[in-house]
Amino acid sequence: MTAHPEHQRPDGVSDATVSALGKLSEALETVEAARGHLYAFHRLCGTADLTLGEAVRELREAGHAELAERVEQELVGRNIVEGRWSFQLVEEYDDTYYSVFKEHEQRARDELVQGRRHLYEAEMKEDRRTHGARHHESTPQDEPAPTAPTAPTKGTR
């Protein structure tokens, strides 16, 4: 069996178009990874600030009130960049870059390949999988390959 219809290129779509959309998708995946790192940064900043608050409390309890006061006044709740906490960086990234990037990638797919996703990867899978072999099915719905005396073959495109 071949790729599911949602992963087959529409008639008339060139290799160059599939390749270009593959690059656009790859770029979006990189933006998604960067966004994940930004969210991790946000969580780490929040955890650091909460842990700093615990340190201030323990410094006070240990009799270091002046040091605790200085740390609390200077660091607890401090902006990580001018005027912003990390959640504000996440929001600005999402609103000014991430959402626009996603819109352009979606629009390109809608205009060029009827909105279909991962065409480049789907064609690569068809080329690279061993047709007729177990665990090399095209989709989860494919029947497991029967044990046949003939050797499986790599890609058929």
Tokens at 33, concatenated: 């990874």
Confidence of residue 16 (pLDDT cuts 50, 70, 90): very high
- Counting the structural domains of the chain, the total is 1
pLDDT digits (tens, 9 = 90+) for 32-69: 999 999 999 999 999 999 999 999 999 999 999 999 99
CA dist 1 and 143 (Å) reads 9
Compute the residue count for the chain. 157
Task: Tell whether 3 is covered by a domain.
Answer: no
pLDDT score, position 119: 92
CB 155 within 8 A of CB 131: yes
The whole domain housing 59 covers: 14-134
Task: Tell whether 6 is covered by a domain.
Answer: no
Task: Tell whether 157 is covered by a domain.
Answer: no
Confidence of residue 149 (pLDDT cuts 50, 70, 90): low
Task: Tell whether 127 is covered by a domain.
Answer: yes
Distance of CA 25 to the CA centre of its chain: 11
Task: Tell whether 139 is covered by a domain.
Answer: no
